[in-house]
Amino acid sequence: MSAFPTFRTTKQGEKVVFGTVRQVHPGNVKVSVEGARGGLERVKVLSLGKPFMVNGVEHVYGYLREATAAPATRPWSVAVAPLSRPTEATAAPATRPWSVAVAPLSRPTD
């Protein structure tokens, strides 16, 4: 076991700090940097993941960025909603048994 936590990459491609629960905590943490540059690097851990066991020792991921509830999106978007099947009175052409309406959403207010 390393005296300092190390960097890892999650399945989502995010760079995180990996170490024991005692090594990784919110705030400034010294991290062992492996590879050509080596040494130690000080990073700011903003949040911790759920603890998990590795060889009988409790470990945790320390996240370097704030977690976001949803990915960044445009300030407005377009909703696509299928319409119900047409009745005989409003029947669409025979080639389309149903149709789709596209309606713009309103812009968010600040």
- Residue 89: CB atoms within 10 A of its CB come to 5
Q: Which residues of 96-107 are buried (b: 16+ CB within 10 A; e: fewer)?
A: eeeeeeeeeeee
Q: Which pLDDT band, with edges at 50, 70 and 90, does 33 fall under?
A: confident
Q: Give yes or no for a contact between 60 and 19, defined as CB atoms under 8 angstroms apart.
A: yes
The domains of the chain are located at 6-63
Q: Quote the CA–CA distance of 7 and 64 in Å, as a whole number.
A: 11
- Report if pTM > 0.95: no
- Whether residue 83 is predicted with pLDDT greater than 60 in this model: the reply is no
Reply yes or no on whether the pLDDT at 59 is more than 90.
Answer: yes
